[in-house]
Every structure is written in structure tokens, then in C-alpha cells.
Amino acid sequence: MSVDSDIAIDVRGLTKFFGAKKVVDNFTLQVARGHIQGFLGPNGSGKTTTIRMICGLLTPDSGEGRCLGYDIRRQQEEIKRYVGYMTQGFSLYRDLTIRENLEFVARVYGLEAPEDAAQAALERLGLVARADQLAGELSGGWKQRLALGACILPGPSLLLLDEPTAGVDPKARRDFWDEIHHLATQGLTVLVSTHYMDEAERCHQIAYIANGRLLASGTIPEIIASANLSTWVVTGEGLDPLSSQLKRQPGVDMVARFGSALHVGGRDEAAMERVAERYSAEGLHHWRRDEPSLEDVFIDLMTRAGADQ
């Protein structure tokens, strides 16, 4: 059972308080083996806390769950053996060389030939030439690659990646995601938190959390459909004053600037249509009906979550 079960993450009703503050509220999620699960939400929404509960670093105040078939409350030791957790900040030893860091990880996981495993990881990462450089001297992108390399070195069944691409350039981010997909095709399950929409779109499934509560979950089409948002794309001159005006209009739930265009959306289709007709009749801007994008939906979710507080 356990490591080979089809559901890699199966948590129900996870709740965590920090003092009086409810940081995670009744969080439920299932992730199938080999899937890439995106985890989105604003800063401070409880993503890191949730990830820590899944890998046994935090004990939930209520709720239960299994990670790779192991109980997250009682079998943390087993979970640690098969889960690679990449923390938000760089958490390898800066004053150790790249090779020394990898050998440390290999030994901690009890690998039979730690030197060989580290060498193999160096080759995989393309870091053989820089193996003896201190890890702290690497650039942001390389640090992140090394951290991922260290996570997968012991051959985990599940990867938990907490904002792995924060502060990393677009090319490195792209390579990173190619690598994640490559790992998933080999049967590795990945839970990755991110703020980037293009990254979210590369996930098989997405969970959106705000104020500790799961607001949306599913595939991208499912999430877009369930949001029930009618959107228009507005182009023309003077979009900024228009934006502040529209935000006050009844029926408009979401206004967001995308490059040279304004995305305007509302959940009440009829009301939104009236707004669109009135403004396009003024002839100052060009209004065009469009399918809502994932980002439109998230901005709407975030606006609503903000209004709740």
C-alpha cells in the first residue's frame, strides 16, 4: 500500500490556528498520483501552513489526512522518507559546496552510495564543473535548480514545492517547469504553490486558497466554468480613469488591467451586458466579449475574498 497508492495526497478538514488566528480553515484536497497540483492564493493565505501540515512539519488542530498513504499525524517519519519538500527560502547550507550539500542530503536519506548519488545529481543538474563552489555563491536561478536537485536526489514519490520560482528569471522558470513535467511523467506527484498564472496554467489541477479557505479547486476549465464570469475586453485611450469608474458600477465584479487592455467581468451576466452596452454606446472605447481567463477568475476570487474580511 502506502507509497504506491493512487491518491498521493488525501487530506480532509485540515484546520490550523496560530494563536487566535485561523490560518487554515477546513481544507480538503485530493491529488492523484503523477499529477501536478497547482496551489494558488494571495500572500498570507495559508499555503505554506497547508504544505507544512501535509508533510508533517505542522500538526493540524483538527482534520486528518494521508500523504502517500501515511497518516499525517502519526507517521511523519515515513512521510519524510518519501517526500521532497522545497522550502520557500533557500535552505541548503550556503557555506557548504554544491557537492557537499548533495552528499549531505544523500546521507541523511540513508542512500547506499551517497557520493555516487551526489555525482549523478550533479550531472543531471549540469553542475559538475561548479561542484566545488559554495552553494551560497550561486545565482537565484541556480540556487533553485540545486534545491530541486537536492529534493529529488533521494527519489521521492511526492514533491512539495513552496513558491519555487519566486525571484527567478523567465527562462529559468520555463526550464524548471519542463523539469517538473518530466518528473510527473515518471510518476512523481507534485504540489507546487505559485503566484504566476502561466505556471498555474501548466498544472493538471489547481486549488485556490484565500484567508485559509479553499475557494476553488479542479482543472482549469472546471474552475473557469464554476466562476460563471462574463467578461469583456476593453481597449482604447484613457483606460485608467475608466477603470476607477467601472469599479463603482453595480454588476461589475472584476476590473483588471492587462497590458494595453482592461478586463471587465461580472457574475450577473445581464447586469454586465447592460454596463457593456452603455459604455460601448459612448464610443470612447472598444468593448469586446471574451471568454474569461484563469487570471480573471482569480482576480474575481481575490476581490471577493478581500471583501469578506
Partner 1 sequence: MSTQEGLPRVVPRPARRGALAQSWQRFVAMFVKEFIQLRRDRPTFAMIVGIPIIQLMLFGYAINTDPKHLPTAVLTGDDSPIARALIGALRATDYFNIKYVARGEADADKLILSNKVQFVIQIPPDFSRQLIRGEKPGLLLIADATDPTATSGAVAAALGAANQALDRELTGPLASLAQNAPPYEIRVHRRYNPAGETRRNIVPGLIGTILTMTMLMYTAMSVTREIERGTMEALLAMPVRPVEIMLGKIAPYVVVGAVQMSTILIVASLLFQVPVVGSLFTLSVLTLLFIVANLSVGYTFSTVAVNQLQAMQMTFFFFLPSMLLSGFLFPFHGMPMWAQYTGEALPLTHYLRIVRSVMLKGSNFGDLAVDAGALAAFTLVAMSVAVMRFRQTLD
Give the interface with partner 1 as residue ranges (CB under 8 A).
52, 55-59, 76-77, 80-81, 83, 85, 87, 89-94, 105, 108-110
**Closer to partner 1 at the Cβ: 88 or 243?**
88
Shortest distance (Å) from residue 285 CB to partner 1: 25
**Closer to partner 1 at the Cβ: 87 or 230?**
87
Cα–Cα nearest to 21, from 40, 44, 42: 44
Contact 158, 126 (CB under 8 A): no
Cell of residue 256, nine digits: 483588471
What span, in angstroms and rounded, lies between the C-alpha atoms of 3 and 278? 58
**Closer to partner 1 at the Cβ: 82 or 298?**
82
**Closer to partner 1 at the Cβ: 107 or 257?**
107
Shortest distance (Å) from residue 146 CB to partner 1: 12
Burial of 32 (0-12, 13-18, 19+ CB in 10 A): middle
Shortest distance (Å) from residue 105 CB to partner 1: 7
Contact 298, 42 (CB under 8 A): no
Shortest distance (Å) from residue 148 CB to partner 1: 12
Shortest distance (Å) from residue 107 CB to partner 1: 9
DSSP symbol at 14: E
Shortest distance (Å) from residue 92 CB to partner 1: 7
Which phi and psi (to 5°) does residue 174 adopt? -60, -50
What is the full DSSP assignment across 218-277?
E-HHHHHHHHT-EEEEEEES-HHHHHHHHHTSTT--EEEEETTEEEEEESSHHHHHHHHH
**Closer to partner 1 at the Cβ: 143 or 263?**
143
**Closer to partner 1 at the Cβ: 94 or 286?**
94
> Which residues, in sequence order, are CB contacts of 302 under 8 Å at separation 6+?
42, 210
What is the full DSSP assignment across 152-196?
HTT--SEEEEESTTTT--HHHHHHHHHHHHHHHHTT-EEEEE-S-
**Closer to partner 1 at the Cβ: 92 or 234?**
92
Shortest distance (Å) from residue 180 CB to partner 1: 19
